Every structure is written in C-alpha cells, then in structure tokens.
Chains A and B, each alone.
Chain A
Amino acid sequence: MKKLFMLFVLTALTLSACGGGAETTQPSGGEEPAAGEKITIRVWTHQNDSFNAGYETLAAEYTGMHPDVEIVFETFDYDTYIQTLQTALPAGTEADILQMFGSWVCSYVEGGNLAEMPSSVISMDDAKAKILGAPIGGYICGDKLYGVPQEYNIEYGAVLFNTTIAEEVGATNYMDGWADWDEVIEDGKKMAVVQDGVMTRAGLNFTSSDGLATMFHSVYLQNGEEYLTDGIYTVNTPAGLATLELMQRLVDEGLDDPILFNDDENWVGDSYFAESSAMGLIGPWAIPEYSGDYEDVAATTIYALLPSAGAEPTFAAASGWGLTVSANSEVQEAAWDFVKFVTLDMDNAVEWNLASGTLPALAENITGANADSLVSEFPYFEPFLGILEYGEFEGQFPDRDFVWYEVAYPEVLNFLQGNATAEETLQTMESSVRGSFE
C-alpha cells in the first residue's frame, strides 16, 4: 500500500510539474491571420465603468473604419487584474493590448513581456514632444518607449478646498490664489477646529500615504534638487531638510494632527467629504468618487493651487493609465494601430478623457478647444490644466509602491508624529530606498 501511495504521489507531482512547465511556453494571441481573414485584437483592462465605456466607444469607431478588425475587451476587477498580469505575462497567456499604469510598465519590460513602440507609430522624440513629461515617463524604460499614457495621474499641486467652511471662518487668502505658504497656513489655521486639545477638523489634511509621499518628493523638487539621479536615491540634503521643515511647520501651526489624521484614521478622502478636514491633499479623482454620496460638499468644493517652495510649481507624478502591447501578440501591427488611434489622436484622446473623467496626457489637450471641453465637463480640472506641464515623472524605482508606502509615508509620518529627527528620517529613507535597488 505504501508503494501504491508513493506511485500516486509521484504521478501527481509529475503531472503538476508538467502543467506548470507547459504554462510558461504556451503561445498566446491568435494565429497569424490569413489574407482577408478578420483580425481579432484582445484587450485587457481593469474594471472601471467610465474608463471602459470610453474604450468601447473608440473601439466601435475604429472597427467602423476597419471592418476587418474585431476588438474584444476582457475586464478584471482591480486586484484580480494586477494578479492576472503578474502571472499571465511571464506565462505568455496575456491579451494583445494591455492596459497598464505607467509605474508598472518597466517591471514587465524587465521580464521581456511588452513590445517596444515601433517608430512607425511614433518616435521617442515625437512622443516626448507630444505627450506630457510625467505621464510618458512611466512608459520609457532605458531609452525605449513601451506604450502610450492616456491620462495624467496627479496627487500634488492643488488641494480640495471647502469654500463653505472658508466663508464661515473668514478665510479669504485662497480667493486670489495663495502667494506663499504663509497664506495657506493663515487660511488653514482659521479653518481648523481644536476642542479640548483634540483636533476635530483639520485645516489641511496632507498626511495620507499618497499625499504625504508625493508632497515630500514634490517639495523636494521645488527646493531645487533631484531625488533620483542615475538610479541613486538621495534625500539627505539641505533640500530634504527644508522639505521636512515645511511639513513640520504645517503641523506645528495646527493645520493637521498626524496622529489623528493619516491613512488609518480620518483618511483624507473620507475625512474631507465628512467635513472633518477643511482642505485635503488628494488628486482630482476624488470628486467623482465622492460627489454621489456627498453632493452638498462637492457642490461647494474647489481645487486650490498650492504655492511652490521654489521658482516653479514642479511636482512629482506617477504617470497614468495607458495602453501597451504584448511582446507575445501575433497581431502587434494591428494592436499598435488601435493604440495609436485611441491615444495619439488628440480628439480621440480627449474623448476618452471626457468619458473617463481623467486629465489629459497629451500636451495639445491642455489648452485650446479640447481643454475647454474638459473644463466645461469637469470644472475642477481648471487649476490642474495650468500646472500639468510642470510635473516630473516620479522616477523608475524597482518597486515604486515600496518606496511610497513602506518608506516615504511611514518615515515622514513618524517624523511628523515626533518620533524621529529630520536627519534620522532622511537618512533612513535614503538607505532603505537605496537598499531596494540592490
């Protein structure tokens, strides 16, 4: 019986091992289409109704012009999509076109999974001229381009601002635009509420993970230094100290309590729309996300541009959603043609931005008629459109989320909570991020 059992175990292991091996070599995509045969392009996206409605409209337009092409969309909820990409790409079982967030692209390029952009679609120089720096940055790995961004993901540059609270407390500096941080602090102090020593309403909630990490790196850039040069992360500098000093000042002046307002408690989106924060550092995606449930707050909310700590309102940004083509695709030419149609034609690109409620990645869409149509549909975009050109891609880290959520956010928060000095914080950040490159 023991022998029999061993036989089954060995058979099972052999079968499972064979199964695993087969997965890595399985070809993907359709067969090379014969002349006159309909080409099927499979597209993978994450489940986002407005994003996908935009894709489907453009796909219908495209297939109307190219009757020999069929475009099939397959969508996954966000978490499943990440896991599916991580397993399908190394196994070679992915679709022809893959929706990607810019900061993911190079890690898949490293595995040889994504196709390089053919120069017939757009050259690197033309792409850099046509597409804004921050979004395109995520799609450039080494000196090659691997896709096209469709949106501009921005987390810093402007803050959600509750005009009703401002009116009640007489905060007026924002009306003409804040000239410097002193004016922000003056408004924020008036709008904050502290009762029995407990902050019940933050003047400016900037201590959530995305906001805090992006603010640190953005203000660092504004202070005139680069934090990532040739793969070396450097923040333990006078610019780093000045950045932490500004953040500490916001806490000391009573605009925010980093113990009560952070990622775990009073997260900025929830807190702002529940009116326990009068200002909140969060990207423009927050308004459509919350306006359904908090119609009254959304109606009196504006985005107020933050002043720059330096000469230019430079900020760090995490690229944005866009389209890439699988290196395994058998229909790469057709796939790139569809990507070009969706992303590089300025009218199609803005049509998708309008459908998805996202900021444009194309430089030509931040001014002119297309920008006007975006602002008329989404008035809160207006302040952002003026600063998009100052954005810098946050940089190619081996794991950007590790840097943002495991290093920058906890370390800066720890400093603001009074548990580390500025020098210790910068030193720890620097060594931890450099360690992640090894």
Chain B
Amino acid sequence: MTKSVRFFWRRAFRGRDAAKKRFLAGTISPLVLYMAFWTLFPLVWGLALAFFDYSPRRAGGFLGFGGGNPFVGLQHFQNMMDFSSGAALEVQQFHIGIKMTIVFAALVVPLNMLVTLPLAFMIESVHKRLRGLFRTIFFLPVLAPSVGVAIMWGFIFHPQRGLLNAIIGKFAGKLIGINWLGDPNIVIGGIPIALFAIVIAYIWQDLGYNMVIFIAALQAIPDNIKDAAKIDGANRWQMFTRIIVPLMSPTIMLAVVLTMISAFQVFDIIQVMTDGGPNDQTQVLLLNIYNYAFRYQKMGWAAAVSIVMFLLVISVSLVQTRLLRTEWEY
C-alpha cells in the first residue's frame, strides 16, 4: 500500500465518526457498484460506441473498440445531416424516425389531454360510491402489458376479421376491407392512417395514468374556491374552464411533459402492431434504434441515433423545468 493510499484510508476510515463512515461505505457501496456496472458503464460504453463503426460480429480490441470496429469520430452524426435523395437507407430511415416520433408525440399529447382532463373531472363529479369503480375501470389498461394491448388492437383493426371493419360494414351494408395498419395509401392531413390507429391504441392504454394525476390535482383544489365560484353563479362548464383548468395548469404541464417523454419512447406497441410499416410510415426512432442495433448489428450507428434521441428527450425535460416553474400556490 503506497503512502498516499494509506493516508487516504486513514482519513476516510480512521478519523472521527469512523464507524459512521464505515457503515455508510458498507451500505452504499453495493448499490454504487451495482449502478456503476449496470447503469453507468453501459451508458459510457454506449456513448463511446457512437464514435465507432461498431458491430459485435467483428473482432475488435479492448471492449470491442478498434480493429474491425474502427474509430470514425463524428462520421455518424455527419451522415445524419445528409438530406439528399442518395443518402444511405439508414440515414433516410433516421430522418423518417425523427419525423414520425415528433408527429406521434404531437398527436398523442393533445389527444391524451383532451380525453383525460374532462374524464377526470367527470369521474370526480359522480357520486362518491361510483368514483372508485370508474377510476378502476379507466386505470386497468395501464396495468395491461403493452404487447397484449397491441395484439388486441391488432385484432380490432384487422382488415378482414377486425371488429372495426365489421361494425362499419354493418352500417354500410357491405363488406369493408380497410387495412388500418397496413395501407400506406390512406393518409389524413398528411398523417398515415396506421399512425392514427396506433395513437388510438396508445391513448387507450395510457389515459388512466394521467387521469389519476388529474384526479389527485382536482382533489387538491380547495372547496372554498369552488364554492365561491358557485356563489358567483358559475355553471359547470365555467367552473371547469375558468376555475379548474387554470388552477390545474402546473399539473397539466407536468402531465404534458411526462406524456411527451413517454411518447418519444414508444416502442413495444408499434413493434407488435406494425413493426414500423407500412412503408416506414410508423417507423419511430426507438424502433429504428432497435432494428439497427439488434437486427442488423450496426451498434455504432444505433448508438449515435440514441444520442440524438437522448438530446431530444433532454430538450423536452428542460422545457419541463422551465414551464413548470410557478410563482404561486393555492
């Protein structure tokens, strides 16, 4: 043991409160080691991968770097900026991934808010005995596994055996064979129908989560404010729009940001329902990362895309901290 190490050891464990320090070290170190090995190390390794043309199939040097997996610097990021029609397929799919992820989040967030906020208000308005029942009913899909939800909605949207086409067919009086998840030619307002179908399934599963947050916020609004509004003659609609919504704005902001982050990270429901199809119309960024990392073993490229995605998510988080700053409370 060198002199400096001995000095450090003495300072750390033999000074005052030595027993306390030893206890802290003993209890924290397993967790720190666990986090370092399973979280910090993969994070650092993943970051480093983005600067290599790395594939686990090729022999490399230390930790797989070098050798058959050469250092490429910022090459992956430069490639991402190639917007020409002759760009490599992975670059084109990355651009599609960015676009579809943003479109997906832009659809999910307002639709989710439009459904969950009034729903929470309505549930809170019913008789106390029924509130628990409604909360349970609407929260149950949150507990369902996403793959199960995706399979169920896949059956609903099936072109020939699907419930949706069967219902439309009953009204139309003829057989309907719309392929909601697989027809690239049906586009509404520039958005493919398959993406709408996934958004519906996603919101169906996710709405209970925000609903619970909103119910908690509704319950926190003091009764005297609502009573004052009633005395002033506010009806239910005015109560909702002029009193409830403004008072809940910090909670709404929180829900918006959390929903947006979760929408950016959508993966399983899309992989099962469309696997990015038809014609890459539902190819979101996380699916793109998964495909290139684990199907095609281009882990260097996938890591670079992951960094872009991380930057996207962190930007949203920064917006969150800014928007959630409130100067008042009730």
Shortest CB–CB separation between residue B325 and chain A, in angstroms? Answer: 28
CB of A199 within 8 A of CB of B275, answer no
- Interface membership of B122, Cβ < 8 A: no
Distance, CA A195 to CA B158, complexed state (A)? 16
Does A48 interact with chain B (Cβ within 8 Å)?
Answer: no
Q: How far is the CB of A324 from chain B (nearest CB, A)?
A: 14
Q: What number of A-B contacts does a CB cutoff of 8 Å give? A: 141
Q: Which of A1-20 contact B (CB under 8 A)?
A: 1, 3-5, 7-9, 11-13, 15-17, 20
Interface flag for B175 (CB, 8 Å): yes
A389 shortest CB reach to chain B, Å: 32
A408 to chain B, nearest CB (A): 12
Interface status of A414 (Cβ within 8 A of chain B): yes
Contact A417:B184 (CB < 8 A) given known A4-B21, A12-B40, A406-B89: yes
Q: Is B46 positioned at the interface, with any CB of A under 8 Å from its CB?
A: no
A197 within 8 A of B: yes
State whether the Cβ of B319 lies closer than 8 Å to any Cβ in chain A: no
**Chain B CB within 8 A of A153 CB:** no
Q: Does A21 contact B (CB under 8 A)?
A: yes
Task: Report B27-55 CB contacts with A as 1/0, cut-off 8 Å.
Answer: 01100110111001100100000000000
The reply to whether B57 and A107 form a contact with Cβ atoms under 8 Å apart is yes
Which A residues are CB-close (under 8 A) to B278? 262, 264, 417
Residue B320 at the A interface, CB < 8 A? no
> Which of A219-227, A343-351, A362-370, A430-438 has 4 or more CB atoms under 8 Å from chain B?
A430-438
Chain A positions 54-93 with a Cβ under 8 Å from a chain B Cβ = 86-87, 89-90
**CB neighbours of B63 from chain A (8 A):** 17, 20-21, 24
Chain A residues with a Cβ closer than 8 Å to the other chain, count: 56
Q: Let me know if A264 and B36 touch, CB within 8 A.
A: no
A399 at interface (Cβ–Cβ under 8 A)? yes
CA distance A276 to B161 in the complex (A): 11
With known contacts A3-B12, A90-B60, A112-B59, A8–B160 Cβ distance under 8 A: no
- Supposing A110-B68, A410-B277 touch, asked if A90 and B56 sit within 8 A by C-beta, the answer is yes
Contact residues in B for A294 (Cβ distance below 8 Å):
none
Whether B57 contacts A108 by the Cβ 8 Å rule is yes
Once the chains are docked, how many angstroms separate the CA of A220 from the CA of B192? 32
Hey, which chain B residues are within 8 Å of A89, CB to CB?
57
- Specify the main secondary structure of chain A where it touches its partner: helix
- Using an 8 Å CB-CB cutoff, how does the interface string of B272-310 with A read, 1 for contact, 0 for none? 001101111000000000010001110000000000000
Query: B4 an interface residue at 8 Å Cβ cutoff?
Result: no
Report yes or no: B40 in contact with A198, Cβ–Cβ below 8 A.
no
User: Once the chains are docked, how many angstroms separate the CA of A172 from the CA of B183?
Assistant: 34
Query: Within 8 Å of chain A (Cβ to Cβ): is B185?
Result: yes
Binary interface encoding of chain A residues 407-438 relative to chain B, with 1 for a CB under 8 A from any of its CBs, else 0: 10010011001110000000000011001101
Q: Could you say which of A87, A111, A265 has the most chain B C-beta atoms within 10 Å of its C-beta?
A: A265
B37: A residues at CB distance < 8 A: 12, 15-16
1/0 per residue, CB under 8 A from A, across B60-79: the answer is 10111000100000000000
Q: A86-B297, A110-B58, A200-B160 given as contacts; is B175 within 8 A of A8 (CB)?
A: no
A196 touches B58 (CB 8 A): no
A243 CB within 8 Å of chain B:
no
Q: Please tell me which one of the listed residues B33, B58, B160 contacts residue A260 in the complex, with CB atoms under 8 A apart.
A: B160
Does A113 have its Cβ within 8 Å of any Cβ on chain B? yes
- What CA separation (Å) do A402 and B62 show in the bound complex? 28
Cross-chain contact A111 with B58 (CB below 8 angstroms): yes
Is B216 an interface residue, CB under 8 A from the partner? no
Check B253 for interface membership: any CB of A closer than 8 A.
Answer: no
B184 touches A414 (CB 8 A): yes
* Known A90-B60, A410-B280, A435-B88; contact A12-B182, beta-carbon cutoff 8 A: no
- A401: CB under 8 A from chain B? yes
User: B15 contacts the other chain (Cβ, under 8 Å)?
Assistant: no
Q: Does A326 contact B (CB under 8 A)?
A: no
**Cα(A24)–Cα(B58), bound, Å:** 12
**Chain B residue at minimal CB-CB distance from A438:** B88
**Inside 8 A of A11's CB, which chain B residues have their CB?**
33
B21 with A262: CB separation less than 8 A: no
Residue from B40, B174, B185 in contact with A9 in the complex, judged by beta carbons closer than 8 Å? B40
Collect the chain B residues with CB atoms within 8 Å of residue A239's CB: none
List residues of chain A with CB within 8 A of the CB of B296: 399, 401-402, 406
Cβ-defined contact, B58 with A90, below 8 A: yes
Report yes or no: A111 in contact with B32, Cβ–Cβ below 8 A.
Answer: no
CA distance A89 to B64 in the complex (A): 12
Which residues of chain A have C-beta atoms less than 8 A from B291's C-beta? 406
Q: List 26 A-B contacts (CB under 8 A).
A: A1-B24, A5-B32, A12-B33, A15-B33, A15-B37, A16-B36, A16-B37, A20-B62, A21-B62, A21-B63, A86-B57, A90-B58, A110-B57, A111-B59, A200-B160, A200-B177, A259-B179, A259-B182, A262-B182, A264-B182, A265-B159, A401-B296, A402-B296, A413-B279, A418-B185, A438-B88
The 9 closest A-B pairs by CB, nearest first: A12-B36, A198-B177, A196-B175, A111-B59, A196-B174, A432-B89, A435-B88, A8-B32, A16-B41
Known pairs A12-B35, A13-B40; list 20 more (Cβ under 8 Å): A4-B25, A9-B40, A11-B33, A16-B36, A20-B62, A86-B57, A89-B57, A90-B57, A90-B64, A108-B57, A110-B57, A111-B58, A111-B68, A198-B177, A259-B185, A260-B177, A265-B158, A265-B182, A435-B88, A438-B88
